[in-house]
Amino acid sequence: LFDLSGKVAIVTGGAQGIGKGIALRLAEAGASVAVSDINLESAQATVGEMKKMGYKAVAVQSDISKVAEAERTVQETVKHFGDLHILVNNAGVYPFASTETMTEATWDKTLNINLKGLMFFSQAAVRAMAAKGHGGKIVNIASVDGLHPTGNLLSYDASKGGVIMLTKALAKDLAPKGINVNAIAPGAIVTPGASGGLAGMSQEQIDAVTKAFLATIPMGRQGTPDDIGRVALFLASDAADYITGSVVVADGGYLVG
């Protein structure tokens, strides 16, 4: 059921964090994976690790906020692996900004990466799937913040709310083409990006913040990239053939807490 042998996938922002967790699970299931990232060195390091594990992977540098890079990334992937069946729109940024501190630059950057990038990577992937005469699976990484604002993340919350509605709109648009589009809304996942928010704090401060934070998660632990990788594997597989336009919340119970 979760066999992805013969399938080709692109994971944006696949070099580290949640994207890497997803790339590893898809590759373990037999998919050939294009690890697309703005940071080529980091993508190459991840691909190196994956190849050592016997997986099929290639690094493709792309800045998803640039529309032309979507088409190029998809073309490079198809050239390398011969096809495309799965797109995981994962790359995203989460700059802190309140009403008072929001700038046009922060707003545009967040929306261009988190929302515009996802739209045009999907468009390019759909064209490639259609050219090959088959459907496919698109998995979008939203956030619990797209359903419930955490605070001080205004452009991020707006972008992730947009990801959830765009997922539903794409699902409706693409169902006749045999393309399923679903989203995952992760809660607090331990990644290099998320840890960046703690930079500059003393260990005492980090311990206090972490303790307060864990109290909001009924399961009492933060998630791992693999917690999300396994959900993405499910949504990218035949097991999810009748699921489209859905949002799977993977947050250790945070939203019901």
Select the residue interacting with ligand NAD from 11, 47, 60, 64 (CB under 6 A): 64
Q: Is 193 in the site for ligand NAD (CB under 6 A)?
A: yes
Minimum Å distance from CB 176 to ligand NAD? 28
Q: Is 194 in the site for ligand NAD (CB under 6 A)?
A: yes
Select the residue interacting with ligand NAD from 2, 30, 40, 42 (CB under 6 A): 42
Q: Which residues of 192-224 are buried (b: 16+ CB within 10 A; e: fewer)?
A: eebeeeeeeeeeeeeeeeeeeeeeebeeeebbe
Q: Is 113 in the site for ligand NAD (CB under 6 A)?
A: yes
CA atoms in the 13 A half-sphere facing the CB of 38: 10
Nearer to ligand NAD, 42 or 132 (CB): 42
Q: Is 188 in the site for ligand NAD (CB under 6 A)?
A: yes
Active site (annotated) includes residue 156: yes
Nearer to ligand NAD, 15 or 171 (CB): 15
Minimum Å distance from CB 49 to ligand NAD? 14
Select the residue interacting with ligand NAD from 90, 122, 182, 244 (CB under 6 A): 90
Residues 6+ apart with CB under 8 A from 214: 220, 221, 222
Interior CA angle at 180 toward 178 and 182, to 5°?
Answer: 170
Minimum Å distance from CB 131 to ligand NAD? 24
Q: How far apart are the first and last CA of the chain?
A: 32
Residues 6+ apart with CB under 8 A from 115: 159, 162, 163, 166
Nearer to ligand NAD, 68 or 131 (CB): 68
Residue 40: both structure tokens together: 């080529």
Minimum Å distance from CB 95 to ligand NAD? 11
Contact between 137 and 179 under an 8 Å Cβ cutoff? The reply is yes
Residue 231: both structure tokens together: 């959900």
Q: Is 217 in the site for ligand NAD (CB under 6 A)?
A: no
Per-residue contact track with ligand NAD, 137 to 176, x per CB under 6 A? ----x-x---------------------------------
Instruction: Report the interface residues with ligand NAD, using CB under 6 A.
Output: 12-13, 15-19, 37-39, 42, 62-65, 90-94, 113, 141, 143, 186, 188-189, 191-194
- Residues recognised as catalytic: 156
